[in-house]
Copies of this chain bind each other. A is one copy, B any other.
Amino acid sequence: MIKLYDNYVFISQEGGESGERLYSKKFREKSVVDVSGLRIGEGLVVAAGPCSVENEAMILDIARSVKAAGADMIRGGAFKPRTSPYSFQGLAEKGIEYLVEAREETGLPIVTEIMNPEYYRYFDRVDMLQVGSRNAQNFDLLRFLGKQKKPVLLKNGMGNTAREWLETAEYILSGGNGNVVLCYRGVRGIENSTRFTMNVGSIIYAKSETHLPICADPSHASGRRDFVESMALASVAAGADMLEIEVHNDPDNALSDSEQQIRPVDLKRIIEKARALKDLLSHEI
């Protein structure tokens, strides 16, 4: 028997290859995921912060700035999955400590990436766990997260279809953890003028198939600072319930993703426009 209550979902014993999925709209129209009091799936939630936590002063400074700009949550990478083994790999547990300080200073919940169940002990005080594109089909990690209660921000794999992305959520849901927010960060495509291909069709498809809230990441999808605003607005128009945006106080000298991080002043304008847009669409529907 499948039961869904509150935000938790329990797997039926009858689940099967061709059975109903727990993420399906057949079970409910829309879920709201609660992250330390912040309700994702109602209005528009914005998480903002640097690609990587680089040091204590930097993350505290950015945290204050993004709060002032209107963000609801702080993002920052501590354990970093980098294409090259020689790139900056993050501050690890030290980075998480600094994020916790940033939360204490601002009162905003924090989200950061987990790459490995082995380090879960460091993520105790984190409000939301992010699964990155490179681990999107790391099924042992997903199964592990399915046994926790902490909310998960689950990115799509850069080579996955939208349907495969939904199936990754099922790994977490079927373990008993219904607190999943799907985050679209673009896929590989034929276009070379942006870092990834931002197929809004995938957001629209996901919205049509699942009750889970959908987040969009315009920073990775574009890979260009000057495209983040339009891509954020397009994502909200496509139905996104949340945005995750990379912000840095000195983007040109960032230790990672320098090209795509915006400044706090730009974040403020984007949040205002995106909220007005979300508001307009919800009134009209």
Are B82 and A139 within 8 A (Cβ)?
A: yes
A138 at the interface (CB under 8 A from B): yes
Interface 1/0 per residue, A142-160 and B, CB below 8 Å: 0100000000000001111
**What is the oligomeric copy number?**
4
> How far apart are A139's CB and chain B's nearest CB, in angstroms?
5
Nearest CB of chain B from residue A274's CB, rounded to whole Å:
9
Say yes or no: B199 contacts A191, CB within 8 Å: yes
Nearest chain B CB to A197 CB, angstrom units: 5
When the two chains form their complex, are residues A191 and B198 in contact, meaning their CB atoms are under 8 A apart? Answer: no
Interface residues of A in 188-222 (CB under 8 A from B): 188-194, 196-205, 207-208, 221-222
Q: Which one, A43-51, A59-67, A84-92, is touching chain B? A: A84-92
Query: Cβ of A189 and Cβ of B192 under 8 Å apart?
Result: no
Q: Which of A14-22, A32-40, A246-254 lies on the face that meets chain B?
A: A14-22
A16–B170 alpha-carbon span in the complex (Å): 39
Which A63-101 residues sit within 8 Å CB-CB of chain B?
81-87
Contacts of A227 in B (CB 8 A): 201, 204-205, 208
